[in-house]
Structure 1
Amino acid sequence: MVVGLLHRAGARSAHLHLASFGAIGLCVTLWVRAKSIDQEQRGNAERRALFVGLWPPMLWLIGESLREPQ
């Protein structure tokens, strides 16, 4: 259902695969940035980086499901 909606909206597997790589870059950027802020805010920043780190597998798998014929 969701995959069909994404396909009709124009999303293709390459778009989701690129978004997955972008999320990896965002996660690394947030993690490096977390190391440069004060100790009081570091825990929240690291949790944010870990949360974003959960996105790449989801985006990649959605991209793979768009690759398969409907």
Structure 2
Amino acid sequence: MVIGLLHRAGVRSTHLYLASLGTIGLCLGLWIRAKTVDQTQRGNAERRALFVGLWPPTMWLIGDSLREHE
């Protein structure tokens, strides 16, 4: 259902594969930035980086589903 809606909206598997790779870069950037903030804010910044780190596999699997649908 959701995959069909994404396909009709013009989203292709390549878009989600690239988004997956982009979120890996975002996670690394946030992790590096977490090392530059002061100690009181570091835990929150690291949690943010870990949260974003959960996105790449999700986007990759949605991209796989779209590829099968295409």
1:49 aligns with 2:49: yes
Q: TM-score, normalising length from structure 2?
A: 0.98
- Give the corresponding residue for 1:21: 21
| Cα separation, 1, equivalents of 2:39 and 2:3 | 42
Q: Secondary structure at the match of 2:7?
A: helix
Whether the aligned pair in 1 keeps the contact of 2:3 and 2:69 (CA below 8 Å) is no
Q: Secondary structure at the match of 1:10?
A: coil
Unaligned runs of 5+ in 1: none
- Give the corresponding residue for 1:12: 12
Could you tell me how far 1:69 is from its partner in structure 2? 3.1
- The alignment-based identity, stated in percent, is 76
Runs of 4+ in 1 over 4 A off after TM superposition: none
| Cα separation, 2, equivalents of 1:44 and 1:3 | 33
Whether the aligned pair in 1 keeps the contact of 2:12 and 2:66 (CA below 8 Å) is yes
Could you tell me how far 1:17 is from its partner in structure 2? 0.1
RMSD (Å), alpha carbons:
0.8
Unaligned runs of 5+ in 2: none
| Cα separation, 2, equivalents of 1:65 and 1:12 | 10
Q: TM-score, normalising length from structure 1?
A: 0.98
